[in-house]
Amino acid sequence: MGAPGGSGSIGRTISSGLLAFLFLAVAAVLFVVAYLALPGYDHFYGLLAIGVLSLFFSLGAYLAEAFSTRAPIQRAVSWAFAGMGFATLLLTLAFAPSSPLSLIGKLVGLLLVLLVLIVTVAGTRWRLGQERGVAQRETQREAWRSRPAPSAFTYATAHPPGEPSAPPNQPTPPTQGGP
């Protein structure tokens, strides 16, 4: 592996960009196939299939992000597929002019998509909180590593919090009336 900023990181960026491009190309072909293979009701089912496929591709791009140390391309592809999937599903269910679904069917479909959207948003918020926590711990670790190591004398004179320190050793005063 190359050093950050070296030719190794450029190679990883190009390969992750190429991987994202291939991922998008496969998705585009599958979307066209789904749209043409399911022409019923003015492609209503094709659009639903494209929305569901988009959500699965979003999940796939998200999982691909886990295999990379710095994955802004996979994260962007994941967000793009998620946005496309939710938009396609919501708009198709809400505004399709020749939908074969009844009003109750549309409402149930919208409710299901909205529930998946809520779970996705909650998971995203949780993940961002976890990333912030990791960043804070890394900052604290770096601060700890940059401090000089304590000496053995510091360990010997350490006291637990709340415990009074031992009085200094003082010579006993001479007794009265003695030699």
Straight-line distance from the first to the last Cα atom of the chain, in angstroms, rounded to the nearest whole number: 82
Question: Residue 2 pLDDT more than 50?
Answer: no
173 belongs to a structural domain: no
96 belongs to a structural domain: yes
Q: Please give the residue range of the domain that contains residue 87.
A: 13-146
- pLDDT tens-place string over residues 73-131: 888 888 999 999 999 999 999 988 878 888 899 999 999 999 999 999 998 888 878 77
Tokens of 101: 């679904």
Helix (H) or strand (E) holding 31: helix 7-37
164 belongs to a structural domain: no
Among 85, 91, 93, 63, which Cα is nearest to 75's? 63
Question: Residue 10 pLDDT more than 60?
Answer: no
22 belongs to a structural domain: yes
* pLDDT of res. 118: 95
| Maximal CA-CA distance, the chain | 119
- Helix or strand or coil: residue 99? coil
* pLDDT of res. 19: 75
118 belongs to a structural domain: yes
* pLDDT of res. 170: 58
With tokens 């198709």, the residue in question is 92
Contacts of 159 (CB under 8 A, 6+ apart): 165
16-25, 52-61, 103-112: range with lowest mean pLDDT: 16-25
User: How many domains in the chain?
Assistant: 1
Please check whether residue 88 is in contact with residue 44, taking contact to mean a CB–CB distance below 8 angstroms: no
48 belongs to a structural domain: yes
pTM: 0.65
Helix (H) or strand (E) holding 136: helix 103-146
162 belongs to a structural domain: no
